[in-house]
Chain A
Amino acid sequence: MAKTILGKMLPFLIFLILWEGIAVTVQLRRHVAFPTPWEVAGTLASLLSGAQLSDAPIMRHVGDSLLRWVNGFGIASVIGIGYGLLAGWSKKLRDATLPILHILQLVPGLAWIPVAILCFGIGEAATVAMIAVTAFTPIALNVLSGVRQLDETLLRAARMMGANGRTLLIRVMLPGALPATLSGLRIGLGNGWRVLVAAEMIVGTGTGLGYAIIQARWTLDYQAAFACIGIICLIGLTVEQLIFKPLEKRTIDRWCLSSDGS
């Protein structure tokens, strides 16, 4: 038992040691205040206990970022899964639209900033739209390939039993493409989160973790900036552990579906 806990903590420990090493080296060589893990932990604790950052408590930044991300990612998931299913089903739709997705996939998330600002102005809608666009492509492409890889006889069996249209989409293709869908959602989630933080730095949303980081940088409060980065990582880990892992256990593992879709 003790061994497994140690094993799980090991990467974390190595990371802290590396960080400490880099901090000390940078401080000695460049004579700048590179925050050490201990200083950041202290800042994090004071932020979490209510200290203000850029005129707002840290939980306000976290909450606003999460809200934008949930909105953007939610829109991307619904449209992405819906499109993936339909395009997997209809060759006409696929032929007419798939190249567009391949092009969209090549556009870096931040390149959407001018487009988003032109469409929605500076503010919430622009940020949410950027997250939605960047998260959409990996979700849609993965769902699509999941549907395409589905065993043809499984679909034949369903049609033989009288299933068609919506039933085929919702009750056969959707669960059948689930392993691919989950990996698509994972990628979309990561992409969306990254573009969110970056967009908050540039679009000037007034709150949010990205905004807090860039403000802390202007005021040379590097410890707070590092603390915010730490919070971003923690949120990512929490989502993986609380949403994706349990979802995977309840579906793919239980049904013994392999991740290649067969």
Chain B
Amino acid sequence: MVPFKRRLMITIGNLRHRYGANGSTGPVILDDVSLSLEKGEFVCVLGPSGCGKTTLLNLIAGFTTPSAGTLFFNGEKIAGPGPDRGVVFQEATLFPWLTVLKNVAFGLEQQGKKSCACTEAAMHYLELVGMAAHADAYPHTLSGGMKQRVAIARVLALEPDVLLMDEPFSALDANTRERLQKELLRLWGMFKPTVFYVTHSVEEAAFLADRVIIMGPAPQSIHADKHIELAHPRERFSPEMGEVIQALRRDLDTLPCCIGPMPPIKGEQQKGPLLCPSPELSERL
């Protein structure tokens, strides 16, 4: 039992989360979520918007505390954010007042390293993501893809056990996105962190993940939990990939979308009262 348990990185038990001032008044966003992530696993979380994917990520990161339930990381209760769980946000969120190099060194300095050692290590990680040539540039001079590369270098430099990624490439153009997905897989192969990757793209999940968790709106928070057996590197347009994507799509299709189930479309002449803006107007009609 013990060696098996050690492989578990994150264990989530009966987690429940509500919005609101003290987490007890607002709407329930996560209900009874139980989940465990193994060491070195690449997990993608798919689901319609508003189903709590990002909330779950923020809870694991320690930015917010759950209303109820347990949340363990490496056998310890998660009490707050820390460098052992690196986060890559949707926007790069680099510090605009620091150069690229200093942005990466910032986290290293917090670990109490000497500044020269930090600079050296930061440069190493910038080389890994291909951004060494821009070490002295300020973030506002970089493109979105370049900023996100720096954000990844900044997190890798912390040597985290877990990489939490919140739709990190969704704001980028398709070409850059695919390049960065490949590079992410390469870096994952080098460091083998556990990756918890939130996305709304079925193709992205199928290309990246070992395991896909499909979330739905509460109370049905975890809808499906599937393993993808395809070996890396994967071919984006192979028939096997097509099958995986189709299967994921079918699962997602059974979930209500953000506005709930669509009402059946009625004939033109049947104008319901809901479509009229005011009673006076409907009288005139």
Interface residues of A (CB under 8 A from B): 151, 153-154, 156-163, 167, 171-172, 175-176, 178, 251, 254-257
B140-A161 in contact (CB<8A): no
Q: Is the CB of B93 within 8 A of A153?
A: yes
- Highest count of chain A CB atoms <10 Å: which of B81, B140, B154, B158: B81
What are the residues of chain B within 8 A of A154 when measuring CB–CB? 93, 95
Cα–Cα, bound, A156→B83 (Å): 11
B89 touches A162 (CB 8 A): no
Rank and list the top 8 A-B pairs by shortest CB-CB distance, nearest first.
Answer: A161-B107, A162-B110, A256-B140, A175-B97, A255-B96, A159-B81, A162-B83, A160-B81
Contacts A158-B95, A160-B81, A175-B97 known; list 5 others, CB within 8 Å. Answer: A156-B89, A161-B158, A162-B158, A175-B95, A255-B97
Residue in B87, B95, B138 whose CB lies within 8 Å of A256: B138
Asked if A161 contacts B97 (CB within 8 A), the reply is no
Chain A hits for B85, CB < 8 A: 160
With both chains docked as a complex, state the minimum distance between the C-beta of B142 and any C-beta of chain A, in angstroms.
Answer: 11
Q: What separation, in Å, do the CA atoms of A205 and B209 have in the docked complex?
A: 76
Q: Which of A160, A251, A254, A255 contacts B82 (CB 8 A)?
A: A160
Partner of B111, one of A162, A175, A178: A162
Residue B106 CB within 8 A of the other chain = yes
Whether A160 touches B61, Cβ cut-off 8 Å, given contacts A153-B91, A255-B138, A256-B140, is yes
Nearest residue, chain A, Cβ from B96: A255
A171 CA to B138 CA, complexed, in Å = 16
Output the residue of A151, A160, A175 with the most chain B CB within 10 A: A160
Identify which of A157, A159, A163, A171 gathers the most chain B CB atoms within 10 Å of its CB.
A157
A153 to B96, CA, bound (A): 13
Whole-angstrom CA separation of A254 from B137 in the bound complex: 10
With a CB–CB cut-off of 8 A, which chain A residues contact B80? 159
Q: Which B residues, 91 to 126, have Cβ-Cβ distances below 8 Å to chain A? A: 91, 93, 95-97, 106-107, 110-111
**In whole Å, how far is A169's beta carbon from the nearest beta carbon of chain B?**
14
Chain B residues with CB under 8 A of A161: 83, 106-107, 110, 154, 158
**0/1 string, B68-93, CB within 8 A of A gives 1:** 00000000000011110111010101
CA distance A160 to B64 in the complex (A): 12
Of the candidates A156, A162, A256, the one having the most CB atoms from chain B within 10 angstroms of its own CB is A162
B170 vs chain A, min Cβ distance (A)? 15
Q: Whole-angstrom distance from the CB of A150 to the nearest CB of chain B?
A: 11
B191 at the binding interface (Cβ < 8 Å): no
Query: B residues within 8 Å of A by Cβ?
Result: 61, 63, 80-83, 85-87, 89, 91, 93, 95-97, 106-107, 110-111, 138, 140, 154, 158
Q: Please state if A163 and B110 are interface contacts (CB–CB under 8 Å).
A: yes
Give A156 to B166 CA distance when docked, in angstroms.
Answer: 13
Chain A residues near B96 (CB-CB < 8 A):
255-257
CB nearest neighbor in B for A152: B63
Inter-chain contacts of B83 with A (CB < 8 A): 160-162
A259 to chain B, nearest CB (A): 13
Residues B138 and A160 in contact, CB atoms below 8 Å apart: no
Is B138 in contact with A254, judged by CB distance below 8 angstroms? yes
A161 CA to B104 CA, complexed, in Å = 10
Partner of B107, one of A162, A175, A251, A254: A162
CB pair A156 B138 closer than 8 Å: no
Point out the residues of chain A lying under 8 angstroms from B140, CB to CB: 255-256
Which residue of chain A lies nearest to B83 when distances are taken between CB atoms in the complex?
A: A162
Note all chain A residues with C-beta closer than 8 A to B111. Answer: 162
Q: Given the complex of chains A and B, what is the CA–CA distance between A158 and B96 in angstroms?
A: 13
9 A-B contacts (beta carbon < 8 Å): A153-B91, A156-B63, A156-B87, A158-B106, A159-B80, A162-B110, A175-B95, A178-B97, A256-B138
Chain A residues with CB below 8 A from B81, complex form: 156, 159-160
- Which residue of chain B has the shortest Cβ distance to A256 in the bound complex? B140
Q: Which residue of B lies closest to A161 (CB)?
A: B107
Q: What separation, in Å, do the CA atoms of A158 and B95 have in the docked complex?
A: 9
Task: Tell me the minimal C-beta distance from B236 to chain A in angstroms.
Answer: 30
| Distance of B278 from chain A, by nearest CB (Å) | 37
Q: Please state if A172 and B87 are interface contacts (CB–CB under 8 Å).
A: no
**Which residues of the partner chain B approach A163 to less than 8 Å between Cβ atoms?**
106, 110
Which residues does chain B contribute within 8 Å of A251, judged by CB atoms? 97
| B97 adjacent to A157 (CB under 8 Å) | no
Whether A160 touches B87, Cβ cut-off 8 Å, given contacts A254-B138, A255-B138, A256-B138, is yes
Specify which chain B residues have a CB less than 8 angstroms from the CB of A171 in the assembled complex. Answer: 106
Chain A contacts for B93, CB-based, 8 A:
151, 153-154, 156-157
In-complex Cβ contact of B89 among A153, A172, A257 (8 A): A153
**Which one of A157, A162, A175, A176 lies within 8 Å of B87 (CB-CB)?**
A157
What is the chain B residue whose CB lies nearest that of A153?
A: B93
Task: A176 to B94: give the CA distance in the assembly, Å.
Answer: 11
